[in-house]
């Protein structure tokens, strides 16, 4: 929580070509993207949702709620359609300083590119932190937006919070071939 106040979260369930996504935002920033259908009130942040979870498909302008929620829905649809490469929605990922550093490096990976856990560990100045990087990547609260599907193992595709079928599909959309 910020400023010792309970933040209100708004949420929507977004139907996409890769399956349903559950988005949460404050009035100022997107805080969570999760794969699969989740009911309203299931926030991982133990904070109340101020809007009922709504299923939205088709035109993303149908999303109601704060601007970050609407913008995220529009940008995710455009990204999946190959119309944009980067997201501009304001983000508020919350994690440890190490997790935040890992997520910042993951955001630098361009569409169609990959990095290994080891490469990220080396960039962060600790080449022995491959597993810690993997753990931080696995706790990414904003997959797609912070493109953790682009992070792979040295000898294979690695894992993914949305499951390997979705990781493969996201990589395929970007022209990335996973072994």
68 lies in the same domain as 33: yes
Q: At which of 80, 106, 125 does a domain end?
A: 80
Residue 3 located in a structural domain? no
DSSP the chain: --TTSPPPBEEEEEEETTEEEEEEE-SS-EEEEEES---TT--TTS--BSS---EE-S-GGG--SSHHHHHHHHHHHHHHTTS-SS--S-B-----HHHHHHHHHHHTSPTT--EEHHHHHHHTT-TT-HHHHHHHHHT-SSTTTS-GGGEEBTTB----TT-HHHHHHHHHHTTPPP-
Judgement on whether residues 106 and 162 belong to the same structural domain of the protein: yes
CATH number of the structural domain spanning residue 130: 1.10.10.10
Residue 135 located in a structural domain:
yes
Comparing CA positions, the residue from 26, 11, 18, 130 lying closest to residue 77 is 18
Q: In 66-79, which positions are buried (b, 16+ CB within 10 angstroms) versus exposed (e)?
A: bebbbbbbbbbbeb
Mean pLDDT across 160-175: 91
**Number of folded domains in the chain?**
2
Q: How many Å apart are CA 6 and CA 26, to the nearest integer?
A: 11
Q: Express each pLDDT in 31-80 by its tens digit.
A: 999 998 554 444 444 343 434 344 444 334 445 678 999 999 999 999 99
Instruction: Report yes or no on 125 lying in a domain.
Output: yes
pTM listed for this prediction: 0.82
Instruction: Flag whether 4 is in a domain.
Output: no
Between 161 and 7, where is the model more confident? 161
Residue 69 and residue 111 in one domain: no
Say how many residues make up the chain. Answer: 179
Pair 61, 115 in one domain: no
Averaged pLDDT of the chain: 84
In the prediction, which pLDDT does 6 show? 66
Q: List 25's β-bridge partners, or say none.
A: 10, 30
Is 88 inside a domain boundary?
no
Is 178 contained in some domain? no
| Distance of alpha carbon 155 from the chain centroid | 24
CA 61 – CA 42 distance, rounded (Å): 24
Looking at the structure, tell me whether residues 76 and 101 fall in a common domain.
Answer: no
**pLDDT-wise least confident of 54-58, 60-64, 96-100, 150-154:** 54-58
Active site positions, annotated? 148
Do 101 and 168 reside in the same domain of the chain? yes
**Does residue 168 sit in the same domain as residue 108?**
yes
Domain that holds residue 65: 10-80
- The pLDDT of residue 39 is 46
Task: State whether 64 and 27 are in the same domain.
Answer: yes
Q: What is the pLDDT of residues 125-139, one digit of tens each?
A: 999 999 999 999 999
Order across the sheet with 55-56: list the strands. 30-35, 19-25, 10-16, 55-56
């Amino acid at each position: 929580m910020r400023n010792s106040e309970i933040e209100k979260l708004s949420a929507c369930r977004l139907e996409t070509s890769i399956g349903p996504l559950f988005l949460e935002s404050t009035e100022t920033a997107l805080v969570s993207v999760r794969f699969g259908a989740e009911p309203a009130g299931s926030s991982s942040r133990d904070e109340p949702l101020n809007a009922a979870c709504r299923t939205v498909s088709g035109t993303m302008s149908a999303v109601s709620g704060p601007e970050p929620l609407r913008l995220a829905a529009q940008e995710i649809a455009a990204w999946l359609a190959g119309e944009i490469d980067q997201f501009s929605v304001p983000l508020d990922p919350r994690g440890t300083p190490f997790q935040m550093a890992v997520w910042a490096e993951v955001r630098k990976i361009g569409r169609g590119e990959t990095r290994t856990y080891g490469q990220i560990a080396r960039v962060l100045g600790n080449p022995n932190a491959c597993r810690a990087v993997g753990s931080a990547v696995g706790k990414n609260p904003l997959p797609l937006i912070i493109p953790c599907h682009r992070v792979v193992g040295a000898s294979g595709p690695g894992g993914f919070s949305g499951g390997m079928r979705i990781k493969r599909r996201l990589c395929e959309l970007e022209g990335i071939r996973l072994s």
